[in-house]
Chain A
Amino acid sequence: MSLSDEEILAKVQDTLVEALSVDDDEATPDATLVGDLGAESIDFLDIVFRLEKNFDIKIPRGELFPEDLTSADSGYVQDGQVTEDGIAALRQKMPHADVDKLAADPQVENIQNLFTVQMICNFVKAKLNS
């Protein structure tokens, strides 16, 4: 399937409108799923299922939304900050996310801001081209 960036964005927005009951003008590319769109952990599974259906792709567990990013034994968090090892791990696990932005202010609570509408678009684009 060959879709333009605009078409991917429009379908991702439709997906989020269905899953999160937000308006499509709220789901801007830089909107964060948790902070701006009010997503909860339960919604991430719903979003994965809808993306699989809407784009006809398979999303293995943890690929789009990695789990246990900040668990106590991960070694990636120290004093409320993501360590350099943690940033490196995130770059490897989430090539679709803007990790540079997190690296500039690596507070643990900023990790959830990696999950943006644009991040999902990047992920879907890579999946469709793979």
Chain B
Amino acid sequence: MRWIWIDKFLELESGSHARAVKNITLAEEHLHDHFPGFPVMPGSLMLEGMAQTGGILLGEKNNFEHIVVLAKVPKVVYHSWACPGDTLIYTAKLLSDNEKGGTVACEGHVGDRLVVEAEIVFFHLDANDPDVKGVDQKNFVFSMNLMSVMEVGKAGTGD
């Protein structure tokens, strides 16, 4: 399984906000265990989807010069749930940032229904920092693998 928890960006206004979509499907293995007879998107994976949306928003502002790593979640509130067949729309708004990191406010909606909201703090790491070398990059918010989400839809709409 690829660790990509958003399907496509709908909007990315550099340094301001981003919107991404996550379609939920019963083809996702974990939904058969979470929970049997009541498949719902795990809260942790919604948080990951918001972190990927917000992390790319922050990374893009700096032309992806820094590695962006999730440092802290000061607030997360789950208001509802999302099921197979639902389309979750994540929005991320950049609240603050400097050379050390940044904070985003995120929400996840299904239609008009607010499912989740969170604040996420990211740190910047530099790839040439000796402390960072050898660290497993899959733990970072974005890697080249995740960046493929930026290409979705660019080949055309199929119309």
Name A's B-contacting residues (CB within 8 A). 18-19, 21, 42-43, 45-46, 48-49, 52-53, 61
Contacts and interface: CB of A to CB of B under 8 A. Distances in A.
15 contacts: A19-B74, A21-B74, A42-B72, A42-B121, A42-B123, A43-B72, A45-B123, A46-B72, A46-B74, A48-B98, A49-B98, A49-B103, A53-B95, A61-B98, A61-B100
A42 B123 CA distance: 8
B74 A45 contact: no
B96 interface: yes
A43 B103 CA distance: 12
Given A45-B101, A49-B95, A61-B98, 18 more contacts: A18-B74, A21-B74, A42-B71, A42-B72, A42-B121, A43-B72, A45-B71, A45-B100, A45-B123, A46-B74, A46-B103, A49-B96, A49-B98, A49-B102, A49-B121, A53-B95, A53-B96, A61-B100
Main DSSP-derived SS at the B contact region: strand
Interface residues of B, number: 13
B121 A61 contact: no
Contacts of B99: 61
Contacts of A61: 98-100
Contacts of A18: 74
Nearest to B71: A42
B57 to A, nearest CB: 15
Contacts of B95: 49, 53
